[in-house]
Amino acid sequence: MNGIRPAAVAGMFYPGTANELAADLRAYLAAAVARGAGAGSSWPKALIVPHAGYVYSGPVAASAYARLAAGRGTIRRVVLFGPTHRVAVRGLALPAARAFATPLGTVAVDQEAVALALALPQVSQSDAPHALEHALEVQVPFLQTVLDDFAIVPFAVGNASPDEVAAVIERLWGGPETLIVISSDLSHYHRYAEAQDIDRESAARIMDLAPVLDHEQACGATPVNGLLLAAQRHGLRPELLDLRNSGDTAGDKARVVGYASFAFTEAGDDVRH
């Protein structure tokens, strides 16, 4: 990849030009703030956000990213976890590429964090799982819009256990400079009312910090469950920010995909004001 992983889904999952992409992101974030998703004087330690095309899940993801405003100048490392959709992986894979490109520019991969993670047996390094993967890429333009100078640590999560994911999260937990982002949609291709029931149940399990989701409930169930284990250990407080599906955002209610955004806040977050 010559050191830079090029955008694979620009022009498909989101606009392929910088001006159009920036305008769409501003609109999604402004709408989220108008719905009451704006930040106070602190910001979450972790987020769960969806990863479909922006026309479908962008409004839901924006509800989470709007919460990062107060951390814009403090967050310097974003640890990203998303499921693999195209390439099978044992454990978790980091890219060898040293940066990710989007129409908004490039974001460095945090090499210090990469070295720390590679010391764990469940973590490997390979560009192949990242080359065409959208789950992580679609988060990067949002992050470029709401944060200033930051680097990413992008994990493609394959055949791993929640405990293995949680161990990586623990290794890179850091302080207020580190944000954890889990990329996952919810149920896939049910009729509208059925999807609502399934997704409400899944959201309830997440709010209970119960790491019991399966891949029928969430394509990113493994990293979600790993985060929930870490959230238990660190006493994070979950908040459901938005729960909708593609029938709400794009109109077709025959076969929908579920989306939700959650924020997880540390207790005693006054140190983050």
30-75 confidence digits (pLDDT tens): 999 998 876 677 899 999 999 999 999 999 999 999 999 999 999 9
pLDDT at residue 212 greater than cutoff 50: yes
pLDDT digits (tens, 9 = 90+) for 101-141: 999 999 999 999 999 999 999 999 999 999 999 999 999 99
The DSSP element (H or E) to which 18 belongs, if any, is helix 18-32
pLDDT at residue 273 greater than cutoff 60: no
CB 48 within 8 A of CB 262: yes
Closest CA relative to residue 260, chosen from 75, 21, 86, 37:
37
Closest CA relative to residue 249, chosen from 6, 31, 65:
31
Question: 105: which residues sit within 8 A by CB, 6+ positions away?
Answer: 144
CA 30 to chain centre: 19
pLDDT digits (tens, 9 = 90+) for 135-190: 999 999 999 999 999 999 999 999 999 999 999 999 999 999 999 999 999 999 99
Q: What percent of the chain has pLDDT over 90?
A: 92
What are phi and psi for residue 45, nearest 5 degrees? Answer: -80, -30
Query: To which residue do tokens 């310097």 refer?
Result: 76
Instruction: Please give the span between the terminal C-alpha atoms of the chain, in angstroms, as a whole number.
Output: 39
Domains of the chain: 4-11+26-81+97-109+124-189+203-256 (3.40.830.10)
Q: Can you tell me the distance from the alpha carbon of 231 to that of 134, in angstroms, rounded to the nearest whole number?
A: 25
Question: 200: which residues sit within 8 A by CB, 6+ positions away?
Answer: 243
Dihedral angle at the C-alpha atoms of 168, 169, 170, 172, nearest 10 degrees? 90
CA distances from residue 253 to 56, 194, 202 in whole angstroms, order as listed: 12, 10, 19
Q: Can you tell me the distance from the alpha carbon of 264 to that of 242, in angstroms, rounded to the nearest whole number?
A: 13
Burial of 253 (0-12, 13-18, 19+ CB in 10 A): middle
Q: Can you tell me the distance from the alpha carbon of 33 to that of 241, in angstroms, rounded to the nearest whole number?
A: 11
Q: Give pTM, 2 decimals.
A: 0.96
